[in-house]
Copies of this chain bind each other. A is one copy, B any other.
Amino acid sequence: MPRSSVSGQTGRPPVTSRAEILAAARRLIDRNGWEKLTIRGLAGELGIGATTLYHHVRDKEDLLLLLLTEYAAQLPRPELSGEPRDRIIAAGVLIHDAFAAWPWAAEVLATDGFVARIGDPALWIVEAILAGAADHGCTPAQGVLIFRNIWYYTVGEILVRARTARRHPDGDFPPAENSPFSGTGNSQLPHLTAIADQWGEIAQENTFHQGLTALVDGLLAQATA
């Protein structure tokens, strides 16, 4: 790790910086996908020795976390207004859209403790959901429940759709792979058989907003029952 800047500079001059490393990492991820990011490849992109990176970031996990924190800090932070229920849904959509633009973030962050790890830049959206729940008449514990459920649902949607997209990139979805029903004429499965042909097309639709609304409305109905 380099020390924080002091006036009297001595010793060998740096060939790179943490900022340069993060920018290059982001470039490579956008180009090849995050699974393909390697320390050695990153050093190659920067034209430096692979081991030099370890003077600027602790390890690969630290690098990814720095990248996520940077991304989170730079996201727009719109004022949420209107009915509490609508604010909660809008907050969920914001989380979703942020991850949809950078699906690998969901892979890295798919953990309950994510907000603590990513830090302050993400807390405001949690606060927004808790505030919406409270304004709707929920107890604090019910607010936490609502946040957790939105988080589960959103992570699941992002991960499933991201991995599906990786397998058969945009547009074509061979029924045999995308539909749960590839065989023919299984009389034990009448509903599945009936819908088999259209499954792929239906599963392609973006129904996040609709599903999130159902989840939030269901949770709020439970809370105020």
Residues of A participating in the B interface, judged by any CB pair closer than 8 Å: 110-117, 120, 122-124, 126-127, 130-131, 134, 140-141, 143-145, 148-149, 151-157, 159-161, 163-164, 167-168, 176-183, 186, 188-192, 194-195, 198-199, 202-203, 207, 210-211, 213-219, 221-222
Contacts and interface: CB of A to CB of B under 8 A. Distances in A.
Contacts of A110: 156, 159-160, 163
Nearest to A208: B152
Given A115-B180, A191-B131, A215-B218, A151 B140 contact: no
A130 to B, nearest CB: 4
A207 B215 CA distance: 13
A164 to B, nearest CB: 4
A153 B151 contact: no
Contact of A111 (B131, B164, B181): B164
A134 B154 CA distance: 26
Nearest to A180: B115
B156 A199 contact: no
A153 to B, nearest CB: 5
Contacts of A115: 180-181
B189 A127 contact: yes
